[in-house]
Each structure stands twice: as structure tokens, then as C-alpha cells.
Amino acid sequence: MDFEAVVSLCYEELYRFAFSLAQNREDACDLTQQTYAIYAEKGRQIRDSNKIKTWLFTTLYREFLRLRQRDRHLLSIDDEETELPVQIVASDTERSAERAELLDILASLEDGHRGILTLFYLHQHSYKDIAEILEVPIGTVMSRLSRAKGVLRKIIDAAAQQNGITMIPIDSNQKRPKQIE
């Protein structure tokens, strides 16, 4: 597959993943562009064209971790530079507002939880693909995803409680109430 075809096929999804990790447009653009620069340099080493997308996500994730590690060693002079940008989502429907609220909650999670939830739910990667992207066993993906879901669930429950909303847990073992006819 030629370079332009790979870019047009994967760019939007790769950018969204980069944005979910970086939490700002400039860094997401930089991560995406750097990923394609690496692909341009090393992409011919990929033998199976079905693995290009996974390779791109893996490369982007590694680049994010590399930059994050580098940034941890730098001290910020200006506290305003360290603040995450506030995302403004204009919405006319309640569903859009809920989605924005969920994305904000997702953005507040630590990198590991945010990354795995984003790969699984927003990009709909399989456990196997996530294992390849993160370079961990499938069992590790499953346990990390379970922990991340637990953290997300606690945050959502706390927000609901704060807003006076009663959450009804879904239990697959619980019998459904009989319907009155």
C-alpha cells in the first residue's frame, strides 16, 4: 500500500487517538505527523499490509510515551503552560452534552487508563490489537481494561451522586422484574 493511501485510510482515527492521549490539538498534530514520518522512514519493513494500522497506533503510542517521559524531566517556568486546555463542545442535544461530559471524564483519567479505554471504546480495537499496540499480553490488556473501567465507573457514580442522580447498577445475574399486563 502506498504512503498516500495509508495516510488517507488511517489519518483521522490516528489523530483522534493522538488527541485523546495528548489532550491538545498541537501535540496531537505533532504526534500524528511524527508517526507518519517514522512510517515513511521504516514502513517498508512491515511485511503484512494488514498490520499497518496496528503498527501506526503502536508507533504513535510509543512516541507519546517518549515525549511524556522527556516532558517529565523539564521544569515549567510558567504554571499556565501546564494547564490542560478546556474543551468547549457546543451542543443542542442532551446526548451531545452527555458525550462531552464523558469525554471530559475520560480526559481526566491518568494516561494508562485513558489510553486503553480510548483504544477499546472509541477506536474499537480488539484485545489482540490493543495487546500489539501496547506490546503487552492479552491478559494484561484485559486486566488493565477492567481496572480502567472500574476507575471510570467510580468517577461517573460520584458525579451522578453529586448531581442527585440515582444510578441503577446493571447486573446480568439479576432477574428482570415481571411486567404487569
Q: Per residue in 141-173, pLDDT tens?
A: 999 999 999 998 888 888 777 877 666 555 444
Query: Which three cell numbers, joined as nine digits, stand for 29?
Result: 498534530
CA atoms within 13 A on the CB side of 106: 23
Q: 38, 27, 36: which is closest to 64 by C-alpha?
A: 27
Q: Are 109 and 148 in contact (CB under 8 A)?
A: yes
Q: Per residue in 96-146, pLDDT tens?
A: 667 777 778 888 888 888 889 888 888 888 899 999 988 899 999 999 999
Residue 90 has pLDDT above 60, yes or no: no
Q: How far apart are CA 107 and CA 111, in angstroms?
A: 9
Q: How far apart are CA 130 and CA 152, in angstroms?
A: 19
Query: Which three cell numbers, joined as nine digits, stand for 133?
Result: 499496540
Query: Which three cell numbers, joined as nine digits, stand for 172?
Result: 446480568
Q: What is the model's pLDDT at position 73?
A: 59
Q: What is the model's pLDDT at position 177?
A: 43
The amino acid present at 141, given as its one-letter code, is V
Residue 33 has pLDDT above 90, yes or no: yes
| Residue 175 pLDDT class (50, 70, 90 cuts) | very low
Q: How far apart are CA 134 and CA 119, in angstroms?
A: 10
Q: Are 62 and 18 in contact (CB under 8 A)?
A: no
For the chain, which domains are there? 1-73 (1.10.1740.10), 86-166 (1.10.10.10)
pTM of the model: 0.56
Per DSSP, helices labelled H in 74-126 are 79-82, 94-108, 111-117
Q: What is the model's pLDDT at position 167?
A: 60
